[in-house]
Structure 1
Amino acid sequence: MEKAVVLLSGGLDSCTCMAVAKSKGYDVYPISFNYHQRHSIELEGAKKIAAFYGVKRHLIIETNMDAIGGSALTDKKIEVPEGDTHRTDVPDTYVPARNLIFLSYAVGYAEVLGASHVYIGVNSVDYSGYPDCRPEFIQRFQELSDYATTATAVKGKHITIETPLQNLSKAEIVKLGVKLGAPYEFTHSCYKGGEKACGVCDSCKLRLEGFREAGVEDPIAYETRDI
């Protein structure tokens, strides 16, 4: 059975990615990150999702991205802004170079495992304008990865970066996950990190809109569901 590494944050998109990779028949190896994020509660969701799929190993990497700061998710001096699904600027919830760092870890892990695929739930339709979610970024990272690993440069094997959600709306992502039986009840998407999702940050608003447009009831608890 071919192996696939899945970046599993514990949120809606990464959970859907996990479901997609499983549906393709891969032996999945989820990797999560404790980067000292404000919403570290999502890691509990990631653990539950990994357990749901009965994985052999769930790797959790600790990296102190709060030492760099510069994001509302890692710097307590910066407030999480109220969500605006129509914003054109990059919000303060952007974590500098996060996906670049996470993908680098994931590709290294894939090389050690002998995995041929790395799944990441980046999306360029219903997202907050993060530069490291664009298809151009993934394309260039793929090219860089091909030069950076012995798997490709020496052994002639290819580690493919898979982005199955890249061109899907949030509603389409929800529909796909429901079809594949993704355990959305374990997911946590809120940037504020409370026991209940706030319902007003970017992530919550995008999620709620997606479920509403998909005609599906969101199974997690919210402080407010007004969008």
Structure 2
Amino acid sequence: MNFSSNEKNKNLNRKNSSSKTNPSNNKAVVLLSGGLDSTTCLYQAIEDGKEIQALSFDYGQRHKIELSYAKKVTRKLGIPHTIQKLKPELFLGSSLTQKSLQVPKNSLRKEEIPNTYVPGRNILFLSFAVSLAEGTGSDSIYIGVNSMDYSGYPDCRPEFIRMFEMAIQLGTKKGSQGPSIKILTPLQNLSKKEIVLLGNRLKVPFHLTFSCYDPKNGKACGKCDACLLRKKGFQETGVSEK
């Protein structure tokens, strides 16, 4: 992995923050959307001393602009980055993939799972990550899910992650012959405020992240849940996005 000299020096000076995100092997796959959470997760993996392969997906999402930010960050860091293209037809029933459905605006209080939930998305993303991790000899996968925000997406819950880890152990050569691939979720119990604070400590370039479900002409709408949560996190911390 070829970091720039400045980034390399910064990374060498960082210390591992938690045994929970530091398994034995130093190789890891990081699921990277280009948003605030996944980019903070990427920088946590760097602090943990990982040799990283970043993995992103183009699945016809209306906020595909995030991928350009993922590219900018990985280029800045000199990290290998794969963007896997998937057919949009695999992801029906979500306002993030179907223009006929409206993205909810101006409200964070939800009784039900919002229509921004993409059926099976994290199941597929993690499956691709497992294949890449096993093929590259990586012992861990980082994913920026967090269950403390309003949404409560089923595939972001700790129970889902635990069950998926069991599937990895039972369904892979690596899992059947030795230590299995771990799914690391350093943001799992953090609020958006706490994620911003963590990102600030890790020197995340917030200006190279993008969080909006319904961008127009390359700009965030400012009204969707992703925009409101991001704004709330920065307002509560006083940290600058620039």
Shorter-chain TM-score: which interval?
over 0.9
Runs of 4+ in structure 1 deviating by more than 2 angstroms, as ranges, are: 65-68
Change in CA separation of 1:83 and 1:116 when aligned onto 2, cut-off 3 Å = farther
Q: Alpha-carbon deviation of 1:182?
A: 0.9
Structure 2 counterpart of 1:37, one-letter code:
Q
Identity %: 51
Match of 2:213 in 1: 191
SS of alignment partner, residue 56 of structure 2: strand
Residue of structure 2 aligned with 1:19, choices 43, 55, 60: 43
* Residue aligning to 1:98: 121
CA gap of 1:65–1:157, structure 2 versus 1, over 3 A, is farther
Tell me the equivalent position of 1:58. 81
Question: Residue 223 of structure 2 is aligned with which of 191, 200, 209?
Answer: 200
Which structure 1 segments of 5+ residues have no match?
A: 220-227
> Any conservation in 2 of the 1:83–1:200 contact (CA below 8 Å)?
yes
SS state at 1:128 partner: coil
**Whole-Å Cα distance in 2 between the matches of residues 67 and 158 of structure 1?**
28
**Cross-structure match for 2:188:** 166
TM-score (structure 2 length as normaliser): 0.87
Mapping of 1:205-224 within 5 angstroms?
Answer: 205-219=228-242
Give the counterpart of 1:78 among 87, 101, 106.
101
**CA distance in 1 between partners of 2:89 and 2:233 (Å):** 30
Instruction: Give the drift of 1:104.
Output: 0.6
- State which drifts further: 81-90 or 135-144: 81-90
Does residue 1:47 correspond to 2:71, yes or no? yes
SS in 2 for 1:172: helix
Q: Distance in 2 between matches of 1:147 and 1:159?
A: 11
* 1:9/1:43 contact within 8 Å kept: yes
Give the aligned residue type for 1:157.
P
1:217 offset after TM fit, Å?
2.2
For the 8 Å contact 2:174–2:180, the answer to whether it is kept is: yes
Alignment CA distance shift 1:160-1:213 (3 Å) = same
Find the counterpart in structure 1 of residue 133 from structure 2.
Answer: 110
- TM-aligned CA distance change 1:127 to 1:28, over 3 Å: farther
What's the secondary structure of 2:222's corresponding residue?
coil
Matches of 1:96 and 1:199, distance apart in 2:
25
Q: CA deviation at 1:65?
A: 3.3
* Contact 1:17–1:119 (Cα < 8 Å) also in 2: yes
Secondary structure at 1:152's aligned position in 2? helix
Q: Structure 1 residues 66 and 207, CA, compared in 2 at 3 Å: closer, same or farther?
A: farther
Aligned CA RMSD, in angstroms, stands at 1.2
